[in-house]
Structure 1
Amino acid sequence: MLEHLPAEVREGLERARKRSSARSRRLALHLGDAVFPIRRLWDDGFAVDADRISHLRGFVEIHEGARMMLTCLIQAVEVQDGELICTFKRATPALDRAALDYEIEVEQPAGLLPRQ
């Protein structure tokens, strides 16, 4: 259906689609000091704009706004419809607390009342 539209209209629609998807989610890929907006994210991968980066591999971080969501080891698979498709070799959720070096017992009391 889009092939019947003039080229300028198709390009304008594509630019508008990119802008709206970038505004709807603030997901970004952090590779050192470089930051790339993420177009789509799914369980085992994500897609970034192929015009901004053509090859991607290694250890990266995925942020939503200022909050880090995932630390990932990734590999770029292919370029498809202007998107660089990347898959996760490993994706670890970022924690907001330090890792524990001991096991927490399951049946702990929620709190102790003082004796009177």
Structure 2
Amino acid sequence: MTTFLPKEVQAGLDSARLLSLKKASRLRVNIDGQTYPVLRMWKTGFSVDAATAPYLRGYADLYDGAIHLFQCLIIATDEEAGEMIYEFKRATAVADKPALDFEQAADAPVALLTDQPVVDM
């Protein structure tokens, strides 16, 4: 059995695959004020539609909807099957609160209670 497909059939399959990836993904990358939808993401990189994204490199912000996930340093590595492949040089997770510069005890009090009486007005 052969796995050869005519160019037209392969192009149709690729466009259908890209369309389904665009609909399924909420991820997007923001670089210098430009936003590009992310088709797929894996541990070491992600892919964007090659028709809309140029060869990008540098600092980027990766979002899942409105949630800021990573601040990244990226580089374009390859283009295959209509997808531009980018690899992470660095991907730092964004925290929702500042980092602590001290060790917090597990049994630390949550709040400070005083012995002052409650005043009713």
Counterparts in 2 of 1:1-116, with a 5 A limit?
A: 1=3, 3-4=5-6, 7=8, 10-100=10-100, 102-109=101-108, 111=110
| Number of residue equivalences | 113
**CA distance 1:109–1:18, shift in 2 (3 Å):** same
**Letter matched to residue 102 of structure 2:** E
Deviations 1:68-109 (A, max 9, x none): 111100111111222111111110111112233x21333434
In the superposition, the TM-score normalised over structure 1's length comes to: 0.79
For residues 56 and 64 of structure 2, the distance between their equivalents in structure 1, rounded to whole angstroms, comes to: 20
Name stretches of at least 5 consecutive residues in structure 2 with no aligned partner. Answer: 116-121
Larger radius of gyration: 2
Name stretches of at least 5 consecutive residues in structure 1 with no aligned partner. Answer: none
**CA distance 1:2–1:21, shift in 2 (3 Å):** farther
For residues 4 and 69 of structure 2, the distance between their equivalents in structure 1, rounded to whole angstroms, comes to: 36
Percent pairwise identity: 32
Per mean C-alpha deviation after superposition, the further-off stretch among 46-55 and 36-45 is 46-55
Alpha-carbon distance, 1:12 to partner: 4.1
Secondary structure (helix, strand or coil) at the match of 1:73 reads strand
For residues 93 and 48 of structure 1, the distance between their equivalents in structure 2, rounded to whole angstroms, comes to: 20
Q: CA RMSD in A?
A: 2.6
Alpha-carbon distance, 1:2 to partner: 7.0
For residues 14 and 49 of structure 1, the distance between their equivalents in structure 2, rounded to whole angstroms, comes to: 11
